[in-house]
């Protein structure tokens, strides 16, 4: 019988977990709908992929009583060239949004160079935030391995609102210049917000000259760690790979998605030019397991191991839309670093349950 993994609740801070294969279902879709229904004045949504019928219905109902604004990844345009990504472009979001009667509230974001508007968050009434690793799809809210957070904080809401307004700017794609460009300044760091005993620090990437604020924060946190639990769709960023390699002899375990790792690994299992030694964790180390997921399909039934999370020293949690990949640096992404032993304990319980499931019923590593 699967270990029961329950939501985490603290004043103004809730976490919900999902793993269909491990029998973990914290009713993430229902909680997201409730969050939307709680809007009284404004609701701003930035989401990579949006197709879940219950969420679309809730957004439509909200549009009749509050000011609703929605941005989503619009894919490539004819003017956009090149760019290869591990995470495939969503199909059908635009059609689903139009069919739900939300077209007039929605703005597609076409990011240059094959990059992604990969954010996943909502800001409600200027005082509440919903975020996490999952898209608002059947797969993201019901089938995959994901985690979601609902946070009451005017301070954090204001930070995310500023990011949302940036996505709406007509020249937003120009914030994604070529590497080394002098056209834009790096984003300003954000302070840690205290929610009772929980500290929360937000990080964003906007593709601005590949300023690696999120990656730098992850690498610095790993450099201090003695115990690491990694539950990630993919890991391919050179800096993060090197930081993990330094922890090879520490207390480290991980859960991966084999199909996504296969794309980013060094040959013969991928196309990366990165030193193959840096993918040690995906080459048969028994401390790492992989989900028996399936390759991307056009249907809304993808079952990825889709988390992007780390738990460090039983006291720090890193999570959000940010995959630990080189490509994430030039996407639009959001990430939280949470300082709380209580939150880390909840994520550890989730990790342990999923790890146990894939130890028994997982996919092989290295990926086939």
The Cα–Cα gap between 365 and 288 comes to: 8
Q: Tell me the sheet residues that pair with 19.
A: 24, 145
First CA to last CA across the chain, in angstroms?
29
What dihedral angle (degrees, nearest 10) is formed by the CA atoms of 20, 347, 2, 304?
Answer: 20
CB atoms within 10 A of CB 232: 24
What's the Cα-to-Cα distance from 220 to each of 159, 171, 209, 216, 275, rounded to whole Å?
22, 32, 20, 6, 21
Q: In the chain, what are the helix, strand and coil shares in percent, each to the nearest 5?
A: 35, 25, 40
Model pLDDT, residue 110: 79
The Cα–Cα gap between 173 and 87 comes to: 19
Low-confidence ranges of the chain (pLDDT < 50): 1-2, 78-88, 209-211
Model pLDDT, residue 175: 58
Q: Tell me the sheet residues that pair with 121.
A: 46, 131
| 295: Cα within 13 Å, side-chain hemisphere | 4
pLDDT tens digits for 269-297?
667 778 889 999 999 999 999 999 998 88
53-63 helix and 28-37 helix, angle to the nearest 10 degrees? 10
pLDDT tens digits for 123-172?
999 999 999 999 999 999 999 999 999 999 999 999 999 999 988 887 67
The Cα–Cα gap between 341 and 231 comes to: 18
Model pLDDT, residue 3: 58
CB atoms within 10 A of CB 99: 13
Model pLDDT, residue 208: 53
Model pLDDT, residue 84: 37
Model pLDDT, residue 268: 64
Let me know: does 292 contact 304? Beta carbons within 8 Å: no
What's the Cα-to-Cα distance from 209 to each of 94, 119, 159, 217, rounded to whole Å?
29, 18, 21, 17
The Cα–Cα gap between 275 and 319 comes to: 26
DSSP state of 191: P
CA-based angle 284:358:250, to the nearest 5?
Answer: 50
Model pLDDT, residue 334: 94
- Look up the pTM and report it: 0.92
């Amino acid at each position: 019988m699967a270990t029961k993994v329950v939501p985490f609740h603290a004043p103004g801070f809730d976490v919900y977990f999902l793993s269909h294969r491990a029998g973990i279902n914290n009713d993430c879709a229902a909680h997201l709908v409730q969050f939307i229904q709680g809007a009284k004045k404004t609701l701003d949504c930035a989401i990579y992929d949006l197709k879940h019928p219950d969420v679309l219905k809730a957004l439509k109902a909200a549009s009749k009583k509050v000011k609703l604004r929605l941005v989503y990844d619009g894919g490539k345009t004819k003017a956009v060239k090149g760019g290869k990504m591990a995470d495939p472009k969503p199909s059908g979001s635009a059609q689903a949004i139009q069919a739900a009667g939300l077209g007039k509230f929605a703005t597609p974001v076409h990011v240059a160079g094959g990059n992604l508007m990969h954010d996943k968050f909502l800001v409600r009434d200027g005082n509440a935030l919903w975020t996490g690793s999952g898209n608002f799809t059947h797969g993201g809210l019901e089938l995959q391995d994901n985690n979601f957070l609902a946070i009451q904080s005017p301070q954090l809401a204001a930070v995310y609102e500023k990011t949302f307004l940036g996505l709406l700017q007509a020249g937003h794609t120009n914030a994604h210049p070529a590497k080394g460009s002098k056209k834009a300044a790096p984003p300003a760091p954000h302070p840690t917000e205290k929610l009772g005993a929980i500290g929360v620090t937000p990080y964003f990437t906007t593709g601005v000259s590949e300023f690696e604020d999120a990656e730098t924060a992850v690498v610095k946190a790993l450099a201090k760690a003695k115990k690491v639990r990694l539950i990630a769709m993919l890991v391919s960023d050179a800096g993060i790979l090197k930081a993990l390699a330094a922890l090879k002899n520490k207390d480290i375990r991980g859960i991966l998605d084999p199909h996504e790792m296969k794309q980013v690994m060094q040959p013969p299992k991928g196309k990366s030019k990165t030193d193959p030694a840096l993918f040690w964790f995906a080459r048969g180390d028994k401390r790492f397991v992989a989900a028996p997921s399936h390759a991307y399909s056009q249907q809304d039934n993808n079952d990825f191991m889709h988390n992007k999370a780390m738990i460090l020293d039983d006291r720090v949690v890193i999570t959000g839309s940010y995959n630990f990949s080189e490509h994430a640096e030039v996407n639009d992404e959001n990430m939280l670093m949470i300082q709380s032993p209580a939150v880390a304990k909840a994520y550890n319980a989730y990790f342990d349950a999923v790890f146990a499931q894939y130890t028994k019923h997982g996919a092989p590593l290295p990926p086939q």
